Structure 1
Amino acid sequence: MRTLEQVRASLKPYPVEVNFPDLSPWKNGNGGIDYVYSFDSGEPGPHVLIMALTHGNEVSGAIAVDTLLRSGIRPRKGRLSLAFGNVEAYQRFDPQNIDASRFIDEDMNRVWLPSALDGERESVELCRARELRPLIDDVDFLLDIHSMHEESPPLMMCGACAKGLAFAKSLGVPATVVADAGHANGRRMRDYGGFGDAKSTKNALLIETGQHFSKKSEHVALDIAARFLVATETVAGADVSRFLSREQPVAQHCLQVTDPVIANSMDFSFTDDFRGLERIAHAGTVIARDAEREILTPYDNCVLIQPSLRHLGQGVTVVRLAKALDL
């Protein structure tokens, strides 16, 4: 049986192309929660939040939030919050073991359930989530900035509600929007409370900017953050024009996740070097093997969403399967 270290050693290493910002200037926050800054315009409007570092090694979000804080940006309407999530994991980043600092005890993007937040279980990530919970409870619009294990075009994860898809369309980027219901082993921040309630006016998006340490991901994170602030009318376009990409957006398309593929063993392997958004033409194509079990595509033109073995383990989702959805 392979170990996770052996699996990771067999995978392509990615260069670290970006600089990790020093977050120590932001430690004390300005409202009672470490690494959280909130600014009130004094004018009516929503409370919007840009969250970075829900996972400790996803640095593009940290770069974007650090840049926005250093720019002195302030809201014209409502309230703007800028926050760093799992800073303790971020501070343990090791360039020789780039996948290890995703979290310390457990995935902080799987704990957003009342049963976990109100329960007796303790972990570094639950402690931080509980600290952040009063902030998250007050937010109307959330952008949670993530990145991916493998080199792949950016994805906007809009959740399972129609309101999330409409929100993603209002930003106009990236080209690929993914409608999904999250993960079976816990709830994401973007699905917490009113964000995941179709009847609530609250709304949230999760952007996967690209490979964790790619310079492209840094640019995507800043571009998306700027567009999010304009779309929520928190700022005017002129306030964030320097952060916007000069590339013209292309027409968006949407994919609907239908099936998560969950590993049953450490003997899981893909049949090709999949990185994400591969379109498999024919149903019944073998895309992976899990010990003796073959993983087959369930329909024609099946698209692979975020295939990766970098956090392989029993019960871990290693890829999700999706089909085209009309916008």
Structure 2
Amino acid sequence: MTTKQTITPFQVELTAPDISAYRASNVGIDYVTRYDSGKPGPHVIVQALTHGNELSGAITLDYLFNQNFQPTCGVVSFIFANVAAYQMWDPANPDGNRYVEEDFNRVWSDEVLKGPRDSVELRRARELVAYIDTADYLLDLHSMSAPSAPLMVCGVRPKGGQKSINLSAKIGLPEWLMVDTGHANGLRMIERGAFGDPNKHNTAILLEAGQHWEKACEQIARETTLQFLKVTGVATAEWGDSRCSLPALEQKVVQVTEGYAAKSLDFQWLDIYNGLEVIEKAGTALAEDAGHTLRSPYDNAVLIMPTRSQRFTVGSTMVRFGRVESIA
């Protein structure tokens, strides 16, 4: 007989770096650092801390600062995004500082940014948006609540999804590339403006490097970023490859077809799902939610980023379902 599983906390294996030295900015926006090579080339942005408890991105940028990175052409910018949330980090409560007032990665439509709403996250997004919009290439560094294999979020087809897949294929990491339907509760940064326009070259990708606080997450974030800097042309192959040991992988694309949002705070999984499991049979019971049974919608459904965090609300996306398809 299937029994309900409680959400269990994960061990924090990473140490949050002190980023206070990076507050001083050469563009007039706190925690934004711009490196200009003085030579023609793209503007490439690497952003960390879209969510305050996702440490691997901050560790990656701290690493690049300590490596004294300098672009060989174009411009590279490093951004620590939701610093207010990061400053609330407590390893004894690692789920407690994803954001301060609202999800920083759901506020990126012009309608919201130019609207009357106010929050800590919106004020920070309004500081950054004009600068973000100058990027030719953007890598947004994230991690996940469950110990899933890493994946690259490539946005929405036919909008920016295919050009993001093409960029990810050049990087060669991670194995799984995801295109989806976006989020009903707000626009992500990788979808805004030119990033979401298939007729513009501007391309954004979002790395989910693994479970938030596992040690392996740190290496995935670092090496994917190094390969990103290489393939966008702002770092030499010699510089990037000499700092990497992970092999390029045969990549798979999974197309999200639908998601499931919590109907209540009583949502409970019926088994332990970490993500990218393939559920062979349609109709397989997966979770209970206030009298409703969540079932797999079709044969060979891929579970994408099932929420294992205790911090969710009614309407939070608990899982997405997808189908594997070709990379082209």
State the TM-score bracket (shorter-chain normalisation): over 0.9
Residue 88 (structure 1) aligned with residue 81 (structure 2): no
TM-score, structure 1 normalization: 0.95
- The number of residue pairs the alignment matches comes to 319
Residue 298 (structure 1) aligned with residue 297 (structure 2): yes
Structure 2 unaligned runs (5+)? none
Q: Distance in 1 between matches of 2:83 and 2:299?
A: 42
What residue is the counterpart of 1:235 in the other structure? 235
- Contact 2:227-2:241 at 8 Å conserved across structures: no
| 1:18 Cα deviation after fit | 1.4
Q: Deviations over 1:189-224 (max 9, x none)?
A: 111111111111100000000011111011011100
| 1:269 Cα deviation after fit | 1.3
Q: Secondary structure at the match of 1:159?
A: strand
Matches within 5 A, 1:108-123: 108-123=104-119
Q: Distance in 1 between matches of 2:308 and 2:123?
A: 28
Matches within 5 A, 1:189-228: 189-228=189-228
- Contact 2:145-2:211 at 8 Å conserved across structures: yes
What residue is the counterpart of 2:280 in the other structure? 281
Q: Which of 150, 153, 165 is the matching residue for 1:154?
A: 150
Q: Distance in 2 between matches of 1:85 and 1:242?
A: 28
What residue is the counterpart of 1:45 in the other structure? 41
What residue is the counterpart of 1:4 in the other structure? none
Q: Distance in 2 between matches of 1:197 and 1:249?
A: 28
> What is the percent sequence identity of the aligned residues?
43
What residue is the counterpart of 2:169 in the other structure? 169
Residue 36 (structure 1) aligned with residue 32 (structure 2): yes
Q: Secondary structure at the match of 2:97?
A: helix
- Contact 1:149-1:211 at 8 Å conserved across structures: yes
Q: Secondary structure at the match of 2:199?
A: coil
| 1:242 Cα deviation after fit | 4.2
Q: What residue identity is the alignment partner of 1:234?
A: V
Q: Distance in 2 between matches of 1:107 and 1:202?
A: 24
Q: Distance in 2 between matches of 1:188 and 1:156?
A: 14
What residue is the counterpart of 2:263 in the other structure? 264
Q: Which of 54, 59, 64 is the matching residue for 1:63?
A: 59
Q: Distance in 1 between matches of 2:252 and 2:71?
A: 31
TM-score, structure 2 normalization: 0.94
Q: Distance in 1 between matches of 2:315 and 2:232?
A: 37
Q: Deviations over 1:66-111 (max 9, x none)?
A: 1111211111111100110001110111112111100000000000
Structure 1 runs (4+) greater than 6 angstroms displaced? none
Q: What residue identity is the alignment partner of 2:60?
A: A
Q: Which of 81, 99, 104 is the matching residue for 2:100?
A: 104
| 1:12 Cα deviation after fit | 1.6
Q: Which of 15, 20, 28 is the matching residue for 2:16?
A: 20
Q: What residue identity is the alignment partner of 1:258?
A: T
Q: Deviations over 1:119-157 (max 9, x none)?
A: 121110001101111210111100000001111110111
What residue is the counterpart of 1:3 in the other structure? none
Q: Secondary structure at the match of 2:133?
A: helix
Q: Secondary structure at the match of 2:253?
A: strand
Q: Distance in 2 between matches of 1:200 and 1:52?
A: 24
- Contact 1:104-1:125 at 8 Å conserved across structures: yes
- Contact 2:45-2:78 at 8 Å conserved across structures: yes
Q: Secondary structure at the match of 2:223?
A: helix
